[in-house]
Copies of this chain bind each other. A is one copy, B any other.
Amino acid sequence: MISPSTRRAAAKPNAEPPLSRDAVVDRGLAIADTEGLSGVSIRRIAQDFGVTPMALYWHVKNKDELLDAMGDRILEVIQIPSEQTALGSDGLRQLLSVLIDALRRHPGCTTLAQARILQCDTGRQLAEQALRILRDSGFSVQQSSNLARAALQTALVLVADRPGAETAVPEEERDAVMAGKRAALHNLPADRFPNLVECADSLTDCPDESEYYAEGIELYIAGVQSLARRRVVTAG
């Protein structure tokens, strides 16, 4: 007696995994990671599974729903910090940190996660915690909303636009594209753009990723703390 998986492997040497909603979503993320989000298409995924494009429509309503599911998947891996540990500005730091860690697994797909952040449970928990911390700090409903949005956007932008990321371009071309941009800055007229020339390398490369993210988080936190102090002084 041959198991189904063995039979499949025998029939197809290039052992494609069985078609399923989860497998389709994972394949979409894998394509986006290596070739950019524009490389993701129903037909392309079908081809990777050795199946006709219309087969996917059994597992997924349409392409929009697939993209939504990819966004949800990115956020699903997040372990929400408990309410006890996530207090004050250090709580905000933690929330930003766990979100960034999740997004970094698929840096070319941050827009998908952004679209789903208030639609999926993990994203809602993240937003709820951020709002709670900000409200507890004394910010108004309107300010807390805007600051919570700014927190999420900070994480998204830090990952999506990390210097030298070039996630929109296929993997093999990324180095070349980045080198081109850097050269363009270096070749700028030094009399008109002295600072751009001086900063050419540091604008296009990220020598220390963990420092980069830590400083990006810190800029946001410092801003929030500063606004909180002003609030106390003004309203107090």
Residues 109 to 152 of chain A near chain B (Cβ within 8 Å) = 114, 118-119, 124, 127-128, 131-132, 135, 141-150
On chain B, the residues within 8 Å of A179 by CB distance are: none
In the complex, the chain B residue whose C-beta lies closest to that of A193 is B128
Contacting A196 at CB < 8 Å: which of B128, B226, B227?
B128
Contacting A226 at CB < 8 Å: which of B145, B148, B226?
B226
On chain B, the residues within 8 Å of A222 by CB distance are: 222-223, 226-227, 230
Binds B, one of A54-62, A69-77, A92-100, A213-221: A213-221
Contacting A145 at CB < 8 Å: which of B132, B153, B192, B203?
B203
* Cα-based distance from A196 to B188 in the complex (angstroms): 48
* Cα-based distance from A68 to B196 in the complex (angstroms): 21
Chain A binding surface SS class: helix
On chain B, the residues within 8 Å of A181 by CB distance are: 118
Residues 184 to 209 of chain A near chain B (Cβ within 8 Å) = 184-185, 188, 192-196, 198-199, 202-203, 207
* Cα-based distance from A131 to B230 in the complex (angstroms): 27
- Check A224 for interface membership: any CB of B closer than 8 A: yes
A123 to chain B, nearest CB (A): 10
Contact A195 B146 (CB under 8 A): no
Residues 13 to 39 of chain A near chain B (Cβ within 8 Å) = none
On chain B, the residues within 8 Å of A132 by CB distance are: 194-195
On chain B, the residues within 8 Å of A223 by CB distance are: 219-223, 226
- Check A163 for interface membership: any CB of B closer than 8 A: yes
Contact B192 A128 (CB under 8 A): yes
Contacting A131 at CB < 8 Å: which of B135, B144, B196?
B196
Contact A184 B119 (CB under 8 A): yes
Contact A150 B216 (CB under 8 A): yes
Show 28 residue pairs from A and B whose CB-CB distance is below 8 angstroms, ordered by the A residue. Answer: A118-B181, A124-B188, A124-B193, A124-B196, A128-B192, A128-B196, A131-B195, A132-B194, A132-B195, A135-B198, A141-B198, A141-B199, A142-B202, A143-B215, A144-B199, A145-B202, A146-B212, A146-B216, A148-B199, A148-B203, A157-B157, A219-B224, A220-B223, A221-B223, A222-B223, A222-B227, A222-B230, A223-B226
Closest 4 CB pairs of A and B: A223-B223, A131-B195, A222-B226, A145-B202
